[in-house]
Chains A and B, each alone.
Chain A
Amino acid sequence: MPRELQPERSDERLVRLAQKGDTAAFESLYRSNLQRIYALAMRMLRNPSAAEEATQEVFVRAWERLRSFRRDSLFSSWLHRMTVNLILDQLRARQRFDERFVEEPEAADLKPARQPRHPPAAARLDLEAAVALLPEQARMVFLLHDVEGYRHREIAGLLEIAEGTSKAHLHRARRQLRKDLAR
């Protein structure tokens, strides 16, 4: 359990302590950032187990890289970026694996649990559920742009796509969401 921390013990101070090997300080950083990081992982992966594993991996990686964190940006932003990169790497690796080694039916098993493309007409979907129904690239662009505030140029770099493609995915995502939410 984390030891009691003074209110003024800011992220910056916790980072400094964690950089020196203080795991209690790192645990405090973990607790204050956990929900945002897990939520991001969950929305990108759409699978609670995969999101939990990714979250663990992010914090382990953050610990390993903490000495290279220069404190010229917010720790939360640094961690956030690391999460996006890690998950996109995982998705790309899985896609390559699927393309090379897995037959179609098994490939479907390896992907995050998918919900039916067409939601029940009677129920008005909330945004969370509607986002989960978007095609993968459109969902990623929507999450990164409209939820997380990344610019198209950054998204293009992260997803290894053209900036125009990012805009097209966003346009498609918004149109689909408007349609689904209007049901």
Chain B
Amino acid sequence: MNCQETRRRLDDYLEGDLGSDESRALERHTDGCDACRRELAETRRLLDEALGLRVGLQPGRELWGDIEARLEPRRAPLAGAASRWLAGLVPPGGGLRWAAAGATLAGILVATLTLVGPSSVRRSVPNPVLRPGATTALSVATAGQRQAAAAEAPIFQVRRDLAATLEGADATLDPVTVREVERNLAILDEATGEIRAALEDQPSSIHLNRLLASQYQMEAEVLRRLHRL
């Protein structure tokens, strides 16, 4: 192996990608060649120093406040919210009204999740590619995003209404029902979360945006029914 060949294969050697014969040939060459031996040593030193760059850096300002401010409105966890709404309202013995509400909600959720469950979400991902210049697809997708955003707004309103009702109600809540409601809300929220996660990868997907809008509408309907009960 000559100098040119050695330098060309040096990275592969350090990567461990050379076969044993080639490795031995390279080592024989570097043993007898000062310039190539120096290059190998300098590269090894560089790699050692590069690992030192893994250390962290501290930003110049505190970032958490801005991050935290963006967490709740964008993805309020329904299960946690339900816990907060329902906490403290559960008397011993439970109550018929909330048992009925739970049963109704569970029925609605079965239908809802049959239509919009994680598996159907996966099947619905069409794997589109947004190419530069694909303005038509982009403009339609933007309309889809607006549709999803418009459908999202009522969810927060219904949640607020439900929370206000629960806080003011002299309700009697069966703990079993509470858990069931909370579990179902978490399932529903997870389905929404999966669609939103898929949208992070494909924000301009028309199908995903429509699916999300549809999911929001169903979620709003479930919450409205729960609210009415």
Enumerate chain A interface residues (CB-CB to B < 8 A).
20-23, 26-27, 30-31, 34-36, 38-39, 42-43, 48, 51-52, 55-56, 59-61, 63-65, 67-68, 96, 99-100, 127-128, 131, 142-143, 146-148, 167, 170-171, 174, 177-178, 181-182
Q: Given the known inter-chain contacts A34-B63, A178-B46, please indicate yes or no for A60 contacting B57, CB distance below 8 A.
A: no
> Are A174's CB and B46's CB within 8 A?
yes
Q: Given the known inter-chain contacts A20-B80, A56-B63, please indicate yes or no for A34 contacting B71, CB distance below 8 A.
A: no
Q: Give the interface size class of chain B.
A: 35 or more
> Are B46's CB and A64's CB within 8 A?
no
Which one, A21, A23, A64, A182, contacts B200 given CB within 8 A? A64
* Interface residues in B43-75 (C-beta closer than 8 Å to A): 43, 46-47, 49-61, 63-64, 66-68, 70-72, 74-75
In the bound complex, residues from chain A placing their C-beta under 8 Å from that of B52 are: 127
CA distance in complex: A174, B58 (Å): 27
> Are B77's CB and A21's CB within 8 A?
yes
Known: A20-B77, A60-B74. 15 other contacts (CB 8 A): A20-B79, A26-B71, A27-B64, A31-B64, A35-B57, A35-B58, A38-B59, A39-B54, A52-B60, A56-B67, A60-B70, A63-B75, A96-B132, A171-B11, A178-B43
> Are A64's CB and B197's CB within 8 A?
yes
Q: Given the known inter-chain contacts A34-B59, A65-B200, A68-B197, please indicate yes or no for A127 contacting B43, CB distance below 8 A.
A: no
In the bound complex, residues from chain B placing their C-beta under 8 Å from that of A27 are: 64, 68
The verdict on B175 contacting chain A, using a C-beta distance below 8 Å, is no
> Are B43's CB and A64's CB within 8 A?
no
Q: Please classify the interface of chain B as helix (H, G, I), strand (E, B), loop, or mixed, using the class held by over half of its residues.
A: helix
Which one, A30, A64, A143, A147, contacts B75 given CB within 8 A? A64
In the bound complex, residues from chain A placing their C-beta under 8 Å from that of B80 are: 20-22
In the bound complex, residues from chain A placing their C-beta under 8 Å from that of B63 are: 34, 52, 55-56, 59
User: Can you list 14 contacts pairing A with B, beta carbon distance less than 8 Å?
Assistant: A20-B80, A21-B80, A27-B64, A35-B55, A35-B57, A39-B56, A55-B59, A56-B66, A63-B74, A68-B193, A131-B53, A146-B51, A167-B11, A181-B46
